[in-house]
Chains A and B, each alone.
Chain A
């Protein structure tokens, strides 16, 4: 049966034959080769799935090990004394890290007093002045500040505050930690403010709200939950910082909440206990680390949960 097809246009693909032809030997061999190649490629694909899955497992292993060991080594020491007593001299049993926890709290408050207003204010500025040269420069420099090693910030605080004042103070520590909070708070504030729809601003303006009132009372208030979450995430990051504290607060063996004196801090105590020669202090270090991680994780979890439920969609 001849195939009477219309003259072929250059752009159309060739028409398949009306009936499948019987495969020749050569064609059968070529098909066999292709099948093997395809099979091989498929095998490679499966292997790579396994490899990347293995990488994912490997990446989560340290986390599980660390958390597991923290629980095993530190949980036994967590008792009421741990949260209420200051460390005892080495050799004596008991004691706790209460002054470190209180000290960390004081430092967080001092850091927030310095870092939050600047961060939120800068975030507002960036959100409302997008595209200007100054805004782009500030945003870039905020990223630069974010990438600075914490030890460099500590050196700065030492040179700027500790040396002139002549002594180590909680204030210097607060300033160093606050400086590290700023970029995080700025970024979240800017994002949260930008998410507030323009129509909300317009509705307020149309009612007769002045610009500053619109920004603060309407927009900021609407974005506040997200901003608070961002602030908490920033706090959780600086709560565990130790390096800047080496240069600023020195640590304190006793109770102290004064900003003008050296102060104890949980991460600092963990460090000192970890490198000390006494087993008992090592045990305290584990317990302290468990508490520190607990605080950091709880805040991180709460922040993630809050942002997810707010926008209804998981990240990633």
Chain B
């Protein structure tokens, strides 16, 4: 016979006597919860402050020049005329050069590491490539000034000029003194490479085995499996990695400042010096003449802020989309 519920038995004097007191720990729990929430909220608040402060610093110049600020090439501090077009142009060109050089290399490394490399080689090589990301920008600039630039000036640029047909084009005209869009683009390529490579490696490794096995079962060679099955599957993520690299290239300051020549000019030639948004701000800040000059620099910073937000947002969304697909 199953036992039904029995009436409560009265307690004896030596019982545990559960006390009904509210422990201080209940307060402790609330305090703890509020504290970590407050810390977490610091992040959105900090971002808000950054946006507000940069905007506030940029406002005076933007008010004066309006959208023409982005298209004008006149930069004349004594007469308080400022136009950021050369800097914007330079940012785009140097980043494009960096991407053109870095992307194939990064993809090649990623494919090698995720598909071809024997496991004992994978870790050390990946480590070395990732180490590139740990080198500070200023060290890249230092090496760029004293090693890369002389190399370019003395050997590579003359060689490029001597290549038949394209060597005479506008792309390579002008004296090769050293500081140039080319050297800035090249150093950016080296700096961007590890990021694109790391993201690409991750998304390639995340491609499910079933995709690879399906290709191999059809008789594909390993390379055909990679080119026809794996890479297309990981396409969004790889593009995300490329755009991530772009985001980093856009904001790089020190190495570019040291290599690009810091001249407000738009030239077609890769040998010519120029400016990027980040290097403009870094270079002219210390000797800015007057409040409008300062504000103009801050306005360039605001443009950089917005552009980086958009580019990074796009990159993250693409990588996120790949990870969602891989999970389903």
**Complex contacts, B41 vs chain A, CB 8 Å:** 138
**Complex contacts, A297 vs chain B, CB 8 Å:** 131, 134
Instruction: From the candidates A42, A63, A69, A212, name the one contacting B147 in the complex (CB within 8 A).
Output: A69
**Complex contacts, B159 vs chain A, CB 8 Å:** none
- Chain B residue at smallest Cβ distance from A239: B136
Instruction: From the candidates B117, B138, B223, B316, name the one contacting A143 in the complex (CB within 8 A).
Output: B316
| Inter-chain contact B105/A274, CB cutoff 8 Å | no
- Chain A residue at smallest Cβ distance from B221: A45
The answer to whether B94 has its CB under 8 Å from any CB of chain A is: no
Q: Mark B139-154, 1 if CB is under 8 A from A, else 0.
A: 1111101110000000
Closest approach, in angstroms, between the C-beta of B19 and any C-beta of chain A? 13
Q: Mark A33-63, 1 if CB is under 8 A from B, else 0.
A: 0000000011011001101111110111011
**Complex contacts, A141 vs chain B, CB 8 Å:** 43-44, 47
| Inter-chain contact A137/B253, CB cutoff 8 Å | no
Residue count of chain B within 8 Å CB distance of chain A = 91
**Which residues 191-243 of B have a CB within 8 angstroms of A?**
193, 197, 201, 205, 221-224, 226
- Chain A residue at smallest Cβ distance from B146: A282
**Complex contacts, A155 vs chain B, CB 8 Å:** 53-54, 57, 281, 298, 301
**Complex contacts, B281 vs chain A, CB 8 Å:** 151, 155
> Using a Cβ cutoff of 8 Å, how many contacts connect chains A and B?
262
The answer to whether B286 has its CB under 8 Å from any CB of chain A is: yes
Binding site for B on A (CB under 8 A): 41-42, 44-45, 48-49, 51-56, 58-60, 62-63, 65-66, 69-70, 73, 117-118, 120-122, 124-126, 128, 134-135, 137-138, 140-145, 147-153, 155-156, 158-160, 179, 182-183, 186, 210-213, 215-216, 236-237, 239-243, 246-247, 267, 270-271, 274-275, 282, 285-286, 289, 292-293, 296-297, 300, 304, 314-316
Given contacts A45-B224, A143-B316, 12 further A-B contacts (CB under 8 A): A56-B113, A59-B109, A65-B143, A69-B147, A144-B47, A158-B57, A240-B138, A242-B136, A243-B253, A270-B138, A289-B142, A300-B134
Binding site for A on B (CB under 8 A): 23, 25-26, 28-29, 31-33, 35-44, 46-47, 49-50, 53-54, 56-57, 104-109, 111-113, 115-117, 122-123, 125-129, 131-132, 134-143, 145-147, 190, 193, 197, 201, 205, 221-224, 226, 247, 250-254, 258, 278, 281-282, 285-286, 298, 301, 304-305, 308-309, 312-313, 316
